[in-house]
Amino acid sequence: MRLVRPGRTAAWTRDRIEGLSTPEVRQLRDNAARLSEAEVVGMCEEVLKARPKVGGAKAKRAVA
């Protein structure tokens, strides 16, 4: 996966980000935050919020 470069936010669309796996979206968000690309960070956050959460409270209770 390529790093986000300043001025390259147009290369990242919500549709493109939605096509990434959850770990890839998190990595993109972290890279974008490090490079001060707030627009990409925001799109990544929206995509992550829309995804189902895995291993929630039920999974933790089952282990205990």
Tell me the mean pLDDT in the region 47-56: 85
pLDDT in tens, 5-28: 555 556 899 999 999 999 999 999
* Element holding 53 (H helix, E strand): none
Percent of the chain with pLDDT over 70: 69
What's the predicted TM-score (pTM) here? 0.69
For residue 40, pLDDT beyond 70: yes
Distances (CA, A) of 61 to 21, 52, 53, 55, 64: 27, 18, 15, 10, 5
pLDDT confidence bin for 64, thresholds 50/70/90: low
